[in-house]
Structures are given as C-alpha cells and as structure tokens.
Amino acid sequence: MNTAVSANAAKCGETEALRILSLQQAAQRERPIPTLQERRHNLERLKRLLLDNQQAICAAINADFGNRAHQETLLLELFLSVDGIRDCHKRLGRWMKPQRRKGSLWFFGASNRVLPQPKGVVGVIAPWNYPLFLVMGPVTSALAAGNRCIVKMAANSRNLCALLHRLVGEYFDERTVAIVPDVSGSVFSSLPFDHLIFTGSAATGRQVMKAAASNLTPVTLELGGKSPVIIADDFDLKTAASRILQMKTVNAGQTCVAPDYLLIHESRLEAFIEQCKTIVPAR
C-alpha cells in the first residue's frame, strides 16, 4: 500500500513538474527579458516571503532535522538568504548594463558589446543540509538574471518543502517561481530546462549531468569535497583549535566547506588534541 501511494505521488509530481515547465516556457516566450523594475519586484517578494514567515520556516526545518535551534536557522539560512537578496537588488542595475569588449578588428572601427540576457527556465535541485539557503541562493540569482525558476527540494526536507510550496504559491505566480513536491531527481534532471543547478554529492552530480545531457541542458554543479586545514609550526594552537572547531560544529558539521582533515606536524598533534578537548569535551 505504501509503495503504491509513493508511486502515485511520484507520478503526480512528474505531471506537475511538466505542467509548470510548460507554463514557464510559454511565459518566457511571451516576455523573454524582464525589466529592472520587474526583477527587483520579484526580489522584494522573495525577501518578504522570508521575513514574514521566519518562525514557520524555523519550525519546519526543526521538524525535518529532528532538532535544530531556531537561532542556527536564523543565522545560517535566513540571514544569509536575505542578505544575498539585498546585495543582488543593489547591484542588479549595473549587472544588466551592456559591457564593452575589445575585438580583433577594432582598428577598422569595429566595436563589441556583451548584452546580459536571461536564459529562460532554470531548474534548481537543493540538498537537505541547508534546505533554505541552497534553495534561495540559486533562486535569487535566477530571478535577478531575469529567469523563471522551478525547484526540487530534498526528499527528507518534507516539512519545509510543504511550507515553501504553499508560501511561494501565495507570493508568486507559478509562471515565475514554483516548488514541485514529490518529483524524483532523475525525472527532474531530465526535463528540458534552459539551465540546471545542482548542489550535492559528486556521485549524484554525475547522474544529474548524465540526465541533463539528453537535452543538452547546461549544468552548474556545486559538489561536496574534502576541506583540509594546515596549521603552521608557529601558529597558536589554542586559536587554531577554536577556529577549526567553530566551523566544524556549525550545522553539526554538515557544511561543504567544514574542516575535514588536519595537516599538522606530529610533534604538535597531542597538544592540539588537548586544546580541542577543552573546547568540546568528550562525553
């Protein structure tokens, strides 16, 4: 029974994704280059969505994580998302201006310009570790560039996904931005987007790029990796331990740039471990 329900939800998710993609593609053809005012208006809507619903967002993420302090969500996800929107709003006018380029025939009077233009419909696949920030960051950039956007969230971000699905529907026309629940990553990646953005593991990134290749969809991948830390022989160990552990424990260590392994001279290793124990005592 559960398998049947899950399969039916996935089929509905696929149908919904295709429907919204068709709507956004049609809207993009009708109005391919939104004005500066329209783009800023969309960014303001996105900012209001976040600021008006802070507590509900924190509660949804807490439910998905099992336990996450509201203060951590406010600092790591809401603040960074809103700050990114404000930065885009401020710089957008300059970003949209044509840019001069030198050409090989300049001495014959030729001139070149780069004209920034929207791509069309952008798909965003977000992971679970920063379920709000890694949705809002790409969506902010896509809207600022004049695109339309469809988002697929992680399967284990169900509470936040349901909340954002409802809120985005209240603040935006689905021809501009939409959150699609229950669609699988393989189906979403194979849709004919004009650009696809994926954040996650290298293994899944390969699958996403392979699926997108059938439509020649350009893909931006932000993949997990290893982050080494080097402690020089003359650096203070207490300061090093404090800084390293602060970043390692943010979001329970689930951050792509969290310190992953340490390079330190063996003569200083035990002293460094002792410093760490005073900051984060072993239980």
Residues 189 and 214 in one domain: yes
Mean pLDDT of 12-38: 94
The band of 1, judged by pLDDT with boundaries at 50, 70 and 90, is very low
The band of 12, judged by pLDDT with boundaries at 50, 70 and 90, is confident
**Whether the Cβ atoms of residue 244 and residue 229 lie closer than 8 Å to each other:** yes
**Whether the Cβ atoms of residue 245 and residue 274 lie closer than 8 Å to each other:** no
Number of folded domains that form the chain: 2
pLDDT for 105 beyond 90 = no
User: Which residues lie closer than 8 Å to 188 by C-beta, 6 or more apart?
Assistant: 17, 123, 125, 152, 180
104 found inside a domain: no
Residue whose pair of structure tokens reads 């070149």 in the numeric block = 112
pLDDT of residue 82: 98
Catalytic residue (one of 38, 44, 72, 256): 256
Mean pLDDT of 144-171: 97
Domain residue limits at 129: 8-96+118-223
Mean pLDDT of 173-197: 96
Mean pLDDT of 269-279: 93
Last residue of a domain, one of 176, 202, 223: 223
Helix axes 158-171, 54-65, angle to 10 degrees: 160
pLDDT for 283 beyond 70 = no
Alpha-carbon separation of residue 37 from 42, 133, 136 (angstroms)? 9, 24, 20
Q: What is the CATH number of the domain that holds 207?
A: 3.40.605.10
88 is catalytic: no
107 found inside a domain: no
Residues 215 and 125 in one domain: yes
Residues 159 and 22 in one domain: yes
Find the length of the chain. Answer: 283
pLDDT for 25 beyond 60 = yes
222 is catalytic: yes
**pLDDT 10s digits, 54-102:** 999 999 999 999 999 999 999 999 999 999 999 999 999 999 999 988 7
Residues 240 and 259 in one domain: yes
Alpha-carbon separation of residue 86 from 57, 97, 122, 140, 166 (angstroms)? 19, 19, 21, 10, 23
112 found inside a domain: no
101 found inside a domain: no
pLDDT of residue 224: 78
Task: For the chain, give the mean pLDDT.
Answer: 92
Residues 218 and 250 in one domain: no
Residues 134 and 251 in one domain: no
56 found inside a domain: yes
Residues 181 and 265 in one domain: no
14 or 136, greater pLDDT? 136
Question: CA triplet 47, 51, 54: central angle to 5 degrees?
Answer: 135
Catalytic residue (one of 16, 44, 72, 222): 222
Residues 28 and 145 in one domain: yes
